[in-house]
Amino acid sequence: MNNHLAVDRPRPNRAIVAGFCASAASALVLLFAHILAKIIYQGTNGSVFGSLIDNDLTVLAASNLYLAIGLHFVIGIGLSYLYMKVRPSLPHDTLSAGFLFMTPPFLASIFLLFPLTGGGFFGMEYGAGILPAIGSLALHAVYGFTMIGLYEKAHVLSFGLTQNRGLAGPPRAPHWQAANGILYGTVLGVTLACAMWFLLRENLIVPGLPLEFSFMAMIFFFSSMGLLIGFWTGTPVRQRS
């Protein structure tokens, strides 16, 4: 078997998992950045940070929170799938490939998304100076490093560990690997849901529905996604001879 060709073979399941995890990572970074900006604004009463957390884009996202979250994950998974498709035509070096791939989405955010939501180029009209552009750069960097790192590393795991290269002791049974992945993924999903609930409870309540509905919906969503990711990452890839 030609290992080089096997490694470069597109893997949609890995791309979807990598895109989902990267979208979650960038969403968490955005959440914590918003909380930090709010704390700084309350402590200093600075207008820059006030404009950063309260502008046309944040108001639009907050008023359509579930739609914004859904679009965030759809776009994130779509980008990872696109990366899988164009990876053979990108430089072999992962860092160069990631830089070339993530540059267009970043430029689209500062030259399309910001102007369309009243922020102008680089988000300067939000009233927060260059901070929106810096924030967009940071979020795209977090997404890119996470997505590309997981997608590329998945190949190493698939064609390295499953062949027991450099491993001491007997290989673990595939069903135990899948079970461990499911367990860790589900626990991580429930933990993430609980953390988001306690941090964003007021913004995550669905008007007209019982309070428990939103909480249980989050638990179900994140735990099921964690279970799915754990199963995919914990199950070895069957190789062709």
- The residue ranges of DSSP E strands in the chain, in sequence order, are none
Question: What are phi and psi for residue 72, nearest 5 degrees?
Answer: -60, -45
- Reading the block at residue 138, the tokens are 């940071």
pLDDT digits over 172-211, tens only?
445 565 566 666 666 776 777 777 667 666 665 555 555 6
- Higher local confidence (pLDDT), 161 or 16: 16
Task: Report the C-alpha gap between 217 and 89 in whole angstroms.
Answer: 40
**Report field, pTM of the whole predicted structure over 0.75:** no
pLDDT digits over 51-65, tens only?
777 788 888 887 887
What is residue 192's DSSP assignment? H
Spell out the domain ranges in the chain: 8-161, 174-241
Task: Report the C-alpha gap between 189 and 185 in whole angstroms.
Answer: 6
- Say what the pLDDT of residue 91 is: 87
Task: Report the C-alpha gap between 119 and 108 in whole angstroms.
Answer: 13
Task: Report the C-alpha gap between 180 and 117 in whole angstroms.
Answer: 44
- Say what the pLDDT of residue 107 is: 94
21, 15, 14: which is closest to 192 by C-alpha?
21
Question: What are phi and psi for residue 70, nearest 5 degrees?
Answer: -60, -45
- Higher local confidence (pLDDT), 149 or 196: 149
